[in-house]
Structure 1
């Protein structure tokens, strides 16, 4: 299992490095466009489908699948996991858009930090309801920490992949390198930076930062979160459940807090943003939970998950998660297209039927 994780991590890292290099380019913002209204001049207005939505959906799906597989190894049934994740998604996905609107006054974006904060608060209720509805035998108290540890890993993996969408859309961007106050960091970011291209990138129309070297906050988050997720998975498989939870929580939330100082996009009012406050509260809440719910240790049995992972219902579940998230986050409300359809000139010269 250790060797499999290592190979998976190396392959994932290679793919991520390639994507980090290319996604800020202009051509990698939109996947396709759907025409929906014909204009008087014969052209069409189009709805844009984005890579932002694709990577968000991929992140949600990957995080959910890893979470599901690990929860299965703790003895939960597929139905219990489905109900638990459904309860969390029903609350967290709309909350991510609502909090982005309240804090950033943005009707077009989503906030992962806000969704995580809400998820940390509502997860015990989701666990309790899913167990209550299915008459689960393991005590609620003993299950809290393993579920939080597993979902924390799923969040890290999903967040790491989802940040690729930020690179594509040009959101959640860092400061210009020249505006970094620390001489050491400025020197470091002279060699490791992100440059966005394209007028439709958020950094371009919101801050005029097209073609400017910026602090690579998204790239750092991607590499840091994915690496931590693999380490945390290994900890869980070895039985270090609390250590995994504390490690994943501290790394994700402390970076979330610090990275806000390196970002240039609008984060709400105040020197300490609402998202930074949420990150600190997340750490405090998790430590409180670790103290209160430190019950009997439950060791994962990954063999229990293998048959379920390969089942048809599991694949349908994954497809459903991807499709719903892709449709919800992939349809751009910040951009539009004007499309013109033409016949290839060679086809116009074909002999006409008499």
Structure 2
């Protein structure tokens, strides 16, 4: 049974992810799944209601997908005998770099203050990640158990899962949407058997940016979620088998090649030109990733062990860190700056 443990682990992970994605594809395009809460901010001028700040399912899903992906990264690195503190240090350093980048690059490319770009953040992450790990290895010393390739592979897998599940957030908010189904090549229409997304709700981005609410659009978010999660699952199996270079290359190349072509099926604004800035970034990221196994070869063979991974994620510092990360990301990404609201309160006299 032990020799099949890796396959059982990945199969169970696939079953859970499949159920979550199926639920999201069916449920989240509806208008009722955009806002998770509204909180009063200040009393309106007429004194009869309160101006409200909205918190979105987008932020909730991003927080949950990020917490899951970080936990999985710690699990994989723990399985590869990387100390917990090293895993958390790399994760923190990448988030310090990537989270602000998601907003800064969107502002530069799309000229918008109130949006984010996962593709831009990934590009910066891919460029900086090996050197962050290399610097940590130098600081920790040779006996630290840190090798650049396994750490990069684990982080790339975490990215695959994080963005795959994160596409559910895009469905909820109505962003990163596909072209109207009628404008898609007939072959793709036939392959999907006419199953597109129909978004409802005037506050979803697809409505106020393109006026496509109520129309069937190509389900680009769903395809991206499936491809990213499937690729990450395959790389997880490769990682657990000790094939770190192949694991890294597979997940980053599949996800970025798909991202390049998927841009052509999207209808939201991605910058000027037929080939967007984000697509150029993806090409550079693929070429850069292909060089990493040559620049940072494995020092010695290593076979990860699932038992070590479970031990790592049950560490109190990991549990508390993931909870703190979840809360911070929910506030950062969940607090809506493009929508507003009004709340009024009254007494239910029958309950007095």
What TM-score, normalized by structure 2, do the two folds share? Answer: 0.94
2:157 alignment counterpart: 153
1:19 alignment counterpart: 24
1:69 alignment counterpart: 75
User: What is the aligned counterpart of 1:87 among 85, 93, 96?
Assistant: 93
Q: Is the Cα contact below 8 Å between 1:177 and 1:190 reproduced in 2?
A: no
Q: For 1:272 and 1:337, how far apart are their aligned partners in 2?
A: 37
1:330 alignment counterpart: 334
TM-superposed CA distance for 1:305, in Å, is 2.5
Post-superposition Cα deviations, 1:318-352, rounded to whole Å, max 9, x if no partner, equal: 101111111110000010111111222413xx5xx
1:249 alignment counterpart: 252
Asked if 1:166 corresponds to 2:170, the answer is yes
TM-superposed CA distance for 1:36, in Å, is 0.8
1:193 alignment counterpart: 196
Q: For 1:159 and 1:171, how far apart are their aligned partners in 2?
A: 14
Secondary structure in 1 matching 2:283: helix
How many pairs are equivalent? Answer: 345
> Quick check: 159-168 or 290-299, which moved more?
290-299
> Quick check: 81-90 or 254-263, which moved more?
81-90
User: What is the aligned counterpart of 1:101 among 107, 119, 132?
Assistant: 107
2:278 alignment counterpart: 275
Post-superposition Cα deviations, 1:299-333, rounded to whole Å, max 9, x if no partner, equal: 32332222221122111011011111111100000
TM-superposed CA distance for 1:189, in Å, is 4.2
Q: Is the Cα contact below 8 Å between 2:83 and 2:144 reproduced in 1?
A: no
RMSD (CA atoms): 1.6
> Quick check: 190-199 or 209-218, which moved more?
190-199
TM-superposed CA distance for 1:185, in Å, is 1.4
TM-superposed CA distance for 1:136, in Å, is 4.5
Secondary structure in 1 matching 2:143: coil
User: What is the aligned counterpart of 2:54 among 48, 51, 69?
Assistant: 48
> Quick check: 24-33 or 83-92, which moved more?
83-92
What TM-score, normalized by structure 1, do the two folds share? Answer: 0.93
Q: For 2:158 and 2:182, how far apart are their aligned partners in 1?
A: 35
Asked if 1:10 corresponds to 2:11, the answer is no
Q: 1:85 to 1:11 in 2, by over 3 A?
A: closer
> Quick check: 301-310 or 195-204, which moved more?
301-310
